[in-house]
Amino acid sequence: MLVGDRMAKPPITAAPGDLLSHAAQLMNSGRFRRLPVLSDNKLVGIITERDLREHRGHLEQTRVIDAMITNVITVARDVILEDAAQIMLDRQIGGLPVVADEQLIGIITVSDVMKAFLDMMGASNGGSTRLDFRLEGEEHGFVEASRIVAREGGEVLGVGSYRNNLGESPVCYLRLITGNAEKIAKALRVSGFDVLGIHRIGGAAKPSA
């Protein structure tokens, strides 16, 4: 998934000559935490909630140009979402303006990335259940697990894998949209799978029976 698929467009912007009180009003009305700053349609800075807090009590007397960040880190629309997330994590920032041909075309934020990852994992679909198990060879791999899930009447919405530590067997998770998760987990265990647990949206993990 690319930044261009998830960015907010067109973003609300401020001008260098705007008062901070105006920028604050825009942020509050749109529930934004940052605003790109444009001059002659070119990105010249970004103003954030933190900048506003540093000038609290002087918002009506201070211009955006006097408080904005000028060394703005940007991304292109064809950057993969994982790279944008890594940039935000490394730089400890909550959003990145998206530019094309030196023009601002959008903004991608931590919230956008989180929503995208939840969608990719199938976790944004209400009523789904996640089932985790270890991948251990062909007999206890994804293909066999999928066959068992289908046999037990389950339907897979999303799938993925991860490792808690390098060198350990990977953990596979299946996001089930239909089917009895407890029954499916039991069938997997009978077939020799190491089922780690059942997780429901908004709920705590439930050990498999």
Quick check: 128 pLDDT over 90?
Answer: no
pLDDT confidence tier of residue 50, bands split at 50, 70 and 90: very high
On whether the CB atoms of residues 180 and 209 are closer than 8 A, the answer is no
In 3D, which of 129, 145, 106, 135 has the Cα closest to residue 182? Answer: 129
For the segment 93-120, the average pLDDT, to the nearest whole number, is 91
**pLDDT single digits (tens) 133-168:** 998 877 788 889 989 999 999 988 888 888 877 777
Quick check: 203 pLDDT over 50?
Answer: no
Quick check: 202 pLDDT over 60?
Answer: no
Whole-angstrom Cα distance, residue 47 to residue 52? 8
For the segment 157-186, the average pLDDT, to the nearest whole number, is 85
Flag whether the pTM goes above 0.75. no
Whole-angstrom Cα distance, residue 49 to residue 134? 43
Buried b (16+ CB within 10 A) or exposed e, 148-182: bbeebebebbbeeeeeeeeeeeebbbbbbeebebe
Quick check: 42 pLDDT over 90?
Answer: yes
On whether the CB atoms of residues 148 and 140 are closer than 8 A, the answer is no
Q: Which conformational region is residue 150 in: left (phi greater than 0), alpha (psi within -120 to 50 degrees), or beta?
A: alpha
